[in-house]
Amino acid sequence: MSTWYIGILNRISPKSDHKLKKETSWPSTLSIVGDVGYNCFKEIKRGDLAYIADLSKKRGKIEIELARVFDKSKVETDQGDLHLAIEPEHTYFLERQPFYEMLGKSDIKSRSCEKILNADQLKLIVDTLSSIKRKRKPKS
C-alpha cells in the first residue's frame, strides 16, 4: 500500500461529479478527484492513502484531506478522463505559508499534482499536520 500527495488545482464541477457517479455507480457519499494524471492513475491502487490538497482557492487556509482510494475509472468529462473515488478520513486546514514550507521541505513542488511519498516525506507531512491544534468537542 502506498501513500500519495495529490494537489487539486481545479475542483470537479457538479455536472462532472453527477456524470461520473452515474456511469460508475459509485456511491454518492464518495468524493471525486478529477483529471488525475496518467502515471498516478496507472500506479494508484484501491486502498492506497492520499493527502489531497485543495489548491483551487487563492486565499485562506489550504484544505488537506486524508483519504483512502475507493476506486478509479476512466470516464470522459469536461474535466479530464481519469478520475478517483475517495473516502475522506480526516480534514486538516493549514495556513498557506506552513503548507508551502512543508512541501518545500518534502521536496514536493507546490504545483506538482501527484507523487508517491517516501518514508521521510510521509513523516514530515504527518508531523506537520498532527501539530495543528484541534477544537475540542463540547461536553454533552
pLDDT of res. 11: 83
| Domain, as residue range, for 43 | 3-130
Q: What is the pLDDT of residues 15-51, one digit of tens each?
A: 888 888 889 999 989 999 988 889 999 999 999 999 9
CATH code of the domain containing 40: 3.10.590.10
C-alpha cell at 134: 484541534
106 Cβ neighbours under 8 A, 6+ residues apart:
5, 117, 120, 121, 124, 125
Phi, psi angle pair for 90, to nearest 5°: -155, 145
In terms of DSSP H, where are the helices of the chain?
14-24, 38-43, 96-105, 119-130
> Are 106 and 4 in contact, with CB atoms under 8 Å apart?
no
Rounded CA-CA distance 52/89 in Å is 11
In a domain, 135, yes or no: no
Residue tagged 461536553 (cell numbers): 139
In a domain, 136, yes or no: no
Q: Where does the pLDDT of residue 136 fall: very low under 50, low under 70, confident under 90, or very high at 90 and above? A: low
As for how many domains the chain has, the answer is 1
In a domain, 121, yes or no: yes
In a domain, 137, yes or no: no
Name the range with the highest mean pLDDT among 4-13, 44-53, 107-116.
Answer: 44-53
pLDDT of res. 12: 86
In a domain, 105, yes or no: yes
In a domain, 79, yes or no: yes
In a domain, 15, yes or no: yes
Q: What is the pLDDT of residues 49-63, one digit of tens each?
A: 999 999 888 888 999
**Coil, strand or helix at 42:** helix
